[in-house]
A and B are shown apart, each in its own frame.
With several copies, the nearest count.
Chain A
Amino acid sequence: MILKICIQPDDFDTAIECARLTEGNKNVGALVTFTGLCRDDDGRLAALELEHYPGMAEAEIQAIAEQVQVRWPLDGLTVIHRIGNIKPGENIVLVVTASRHRRAAFEAAEFLMDFLKTNAPFWKKEHLADNSGAQSETGWVSANDADDDAIARWRTSKKT
């Protein structure tokens, strides 16, 4: 099982990350990628600023990755999270999962994103295109209930 966890200011190349998980392993039948991009919310947003807790952020992703490996048989797992200033249309996060079968690859990627959102210490601050727009006091994005609901479903019942 290949595992790569990386927190970096630079953009990533999804094709290269996919190739890393499949090259030389012809037992991979399913490859799933999730890319989270910075939306501009119909022009409202100029940029996102991504802050993280160095050390703990890597450790939390590692802990989630370990849970993933217990639940699903994977051949490879890659998580890359960008930090710093990110403009609309740019990549924020990449998850790649490789497995023999599609169900494991899909569920592992979804689980990892759900827990990363709620458990990994990253924070987003919005910089607006037009400062007259409605905004929270300081621009920091609030955590949302949907993300808490997303992780709850993995606890209450195993997906079938």
Chain B
Amino acid sequence: MKIIYFAWVRERTGRSQEEVDLPAGIETVAGLIGWLKTRGPEFEHAFENERFIRAALDQQMASNDTPLAGTSEVAFFPPMTGG
């Protein structure tokens, strides 16, 4: 599964994208965030305040309990500030 990071989520994780092999049992956005946070302090820092994290599955906005099944691209980013 491909994971993309934008804005300060990208800066905090120190990467713009990566390929990951999900461990068994990770089935939702919340589950994925929980697992990412175990991967090091940079992820702990990036996801420390989940209220400011938005997620998109294959470019569709998702919520914490959206299932990951069938998703090939997950993106994490802060609330949008365009325009």
Instruction: Write the residues of chain A forming the contact surface with B, with a CB cutoff of 8 angstroms.
Output: 36, 50-53, 55-57, 59, 81, 92-93, 113, 116-125, 137-138, 140-143
Bound CA span A123–B7, Å: 6
For residue B4, CB closer than 8 A to chain A, the reply is yes
Instruction: Write the residues of chain B forming the contact surface with A, with a CB cutoff of 8 angstroms.
Output: 4, 6-8, 11, 56, 59, 61, 75, 77-83
State the total of A-B contacts with C-beta under 8 angstroms: 69
| Contact across chains for B78 and A143 when beta carbons are under 8 A apart | yes
**28 contacting pairs across A/B (C-beta < 8 A):** A53-B6, A53-B56, A53-B59, A53-B77, A56-B56, A56-B59, A81-B82, A81-B83, A93-B83, A113-B83, A116-B82, A116-B83, A117-B80, A117-B81, A118-B80, A119-B80, A120-B82, A120-B83, A121-B75, A121-B82, A122-B80, A122-B83, A124-B81, A125-B7, A142-B79, A142-B81, A143-B78, A143-B80
> Closest approach, in angstroms, between the C-beta of A33 and any C-beta of chain B?
14
Residues from chain B with Cβ under 8 Å of A125 in the complex: 7
| Contact across chains for A55 and B59 when beta carbons are under 8 A apart | yes
Residues from chain B with Cβ under 8 Å of A55 in the complex: 59
> Closest approach, in angstroms, between the C-beta of A99 and any C-beta of chain B?
15
